[in-house]
Structure 1
């Protein structure tokens, strides 16, 4: 999340300074239109290309600039989540095993332009002390960025849950490369700590959901189950698959019907009813295609709230990490009925609660899918 310049209360930007500030993605078209309307300035064209030049010609009052600053500061970064598991051999509560755990050396001293802006905190989330959360914030300074972009704050969280006396689960939430980097290092340090106190065996490692864990055919089935099995939830109603990203598998010859895909490094389908495209619908083509991302749309009813959202299920880093790309989910689009009645903070809270529900359902779907694959192997032998 972008934060304010340290001298923001000491000067009032204008001209090119306010142009760059207003062009940020954190300030929406509606934010700018609202500010201009207060001045009695109205546009039929509401694109930023029209609004930003106009607002940059004005000398804003301190109050007007503070209103824009408030809009900037209430924008939340998009949270991504993934889950991993670890074999565990102890009847101790998780919090009791962390009495001497240290966050030292999580972030290297050299070659890094970010750091903890405070000591990470550990909190207990259940009365049995078997679910804990590690929350942290990191601060990054970019000296080559504009005055309004030079300082960034990124939040992250790792929830560690004891499933039973033989297994624990890590749920990682992050918003950026930096917060994911820190989360990975914290998880690695936790595993080393558990091994040092003989709770985790030396040869055991985190079991993540990786691209290479699936055959091409099984990966497509897994993606479909993530959408269709949400129907079993009391909160979500599946609407459509609206985006899929894939490529032909370079190690498998392409059938003649889809040989036009040859030498394509990435293909993207956007629209409606994508799953009815013939080379997705016809299973004979599945061994030839490597799908790494699917975006689906849902309606939701959560407590007294109703709305719609798009969820991205993705091995996002597949183009660079290949088989080692880790699976993650995030909510890419989110709207509430009567959305103007909600504060930005309330919207963010509801969105994050929905993401937690999707993550839990995804975890159940994956566990059941592993059983499906295992039974399929047994049937083949």
Structure 2
């Protein structure tokens, strides 16, 4: 999330300063159109290249600039989630095991331009001492950026939940490479802490969902279960709209798809992708390494209705291959009657919907593992 310039309360920008501020991706064309309408200025064409020059000719009052600041401050980077599990070896609650946990050494002392902007916070969820949340915020300073971009705040969190007598689940949520790095270091530090205090046996490690856990065929089945076969009381599958894959370089391709030879990355976008012949026909699955599928869903939760795309991905596959970790994220999120909600409210609703998809993903994964065990 963009963080305000430290002296922004003393600044009332105009001209080129307001042009640069308004051109940020965090301020949408709808935001600008609504803002200008308050001033009595109406546009048939609502593209930013028309709206921003008009805005830059105005002298804003402090309260008007506050409106633009609010548009900026409530925009969040897209949240990604991944989960891991760990064998548990104590009768103590998770809350009790964290009494003397230290947050030291989670960020390198040298070579980075970010830091904690406050001490990470540990809290109990739902009055359950076996359901713990650790929230943290990272501040990054880019001295080569413009006055409105130089400081950024990135949020992250770790949720720890006891799911059975001998197992805990750890869910990491992050919004940037910085908060992801801190989240990974926090997980490692928690594991060391648990082992040193005999809450976890010395030979146990975090069990993650990794690309290399699946055969090429099974990975495609898993993706299907997360898309065309996944619905709940709160959301309904519509279509697969994007896939990323490549031919497995260790296996010779059949003649029908030999045009894929020497391709290191392939993408399919559109509608009814799952009916493409080399995806529909199982005989080709052993030849293909899929690492991402994006699907569209309709959702209805509480009083909220809308649609979104969900990205199921081994995000770092091209760099880490078999060690890349599975994660989910929401894109293209929209609410019915969206003008009734502030940007901050939309972000909160989006994260609630992401939590629902994460829960269903976890259930789908467990059922799929049982299916694979049955197959063997």
Deviates more, 1:336-345 or 1:176-185: 336-345
How far is 1:110 from its partner? 1.0
Please name the residue that 1:105 is paired with.
105
How far is 1:71 from its partner? 0.8
Please name the residue that 2:38 is paired with.
38
User: For 1:227, what is the secondary structure of its paired residue?
Assistant: coil
- TM-score, normalised to structure 1, is 0.95
Please name the residue that 2:226 is paired with.
226
User: Alpha carbon RMSD of aligned pairs, Å?
Assistant: 1.4
Task: Give the Cα separation in 1 of the matches to 2:103 and 2:49.
Answer: 46
Task: Give the Cα separation in 1 of the matches to 2:176 and 2:128.
Answer: 32
Please name the residue that 1:48 is paired with.
48
Q: Is the 8 A contact 1:83 1:208 kept in 2?
A: yes
Please name the residue that 2:15 is paired with.
15
Q: Is the 8 A contact 2:228 2:240 kept in 1?
A: no
Q: Is the 8 A contact 2:228 2:238 kept in 1?
A: no
Task: Give the Cα separation in 2 of the matches to 1:317 and 1:265.
Answer: 14
Please name the residue that 1:311 is paired with.
310
How far is 1:149 from its partner? 0.6
User: For 1:230, what is the secondary structure of its paired residue?
Assistant: coil
Task: Give the Cα separation in 1 of the matches to 2:209 and 2:373.
Answer: 16
- Deviation readout 1:206-248 (Å, 9 max, x if unpaired): 01111111111111100000123422x1111111111111111
Q: Is the 8 A contact 1:29 1:47 kept in 2?
A: yes
Alignment of 1:1-150 (within 5 A): 1-150=1-150
Please name the residue that 2:206 is paired with.
206
User: For 1:238, what is the secondary structure of its paired residue?
Assistant: strand
Please name the residue that 1:161 is paired with.
161
Please name the residue that 2:290 is paired with.
291
How far is 1:132 from its partner? 0.6
User: For 1:21, what is the secondary structure of its paired residue?
Assistant: helix
- Deviation readout 1:1-24 (Å, 9 max, x if unpaired): 001101112122223222221111
1:300 equivalent in alignment to 2:299: yes
Unaligned residue ranges in structure 1 (runs of 5+)? none
- TM-score, normalised to structure 2, is 0.96
Task: Give the Cα separation in 2 of the matches to 1:22 and 1:266.
Answer: 36
Please name the residue that 1:323 is paired with.
322
Deviates more, 1:41-50 or 1:218-227: 41-50
Deviates more, 1:183-192 or 1:58-67: 58-67
Please name the residue that 1:343 is paired with.
342
Please name the residue that 1:241 is paired with.
240
User: For 1:200, what is the secondary structure of its paired residue?
Assistant: coil
Deviates more, 1:187-196 or 1:305-314: 305-314
Q: Is the 8 A contact 1:93 1:128 kept in 2?
A: no
Task: Give the Cα separation in 1 of the matches to 2:246 and 2:66.
Answer: 47
Please name the residue that 2:179 is paired with.
179
Q: Is the 8 A contact 1:229 1:365 kept in 2?
A: no
Task: Give the Cα separation in 1 of the matches to 2:21 and 2:298.
Answer: 35
Please name the residue that 1:356 is paired with.
355
User: For 2:169, what is the secondary structure of its paired residue?
Assistant: strand
The 1:121–1:224 alpha-carbon spacing in structure 2 relative to 1, beyond 3 Å, is same
Task: Give the Cα separation in 1 of the matches to 2:92 and 2:243.
Answer: 44
How far is 1:306 from its partner? 1.7
Task: Give the Cα separation in 2 of the matches to 1:14 and 1:345.
Answer: 26
Please name the residue that 1:270 is paired with.
269
How far is 1:56 from its partner? 2.6
User: For 2:373, what is the secondary structure of its paired residue?
Assistant: helix
Q: Is the 8 A contact 1:293 1:316 kept in 2?
A: yes
Task: Give the Cα separation in 1 of the matches to 2:128 and 2:176.
Answer: 32
Task: Give the Cα separation in 2 of the matches to 1:274 and 1:144.
Answer: 42
Deviates more, 1:346-355 or 1:241-250: 346-355
How far is 1:128 from its partner? 4.2
Q: Is the 8 A contact 1:14 1:57 kept in 2?
A: yes
User: For 2:226, what is the secondary structure of its paired residue?
Assistant: helix
Deviates more, 1:102-111 or 1:338-347: 338-347
Aligned residue pairs total: 376
Deviates more, 1:44-53 or 1:24-33: 44-53
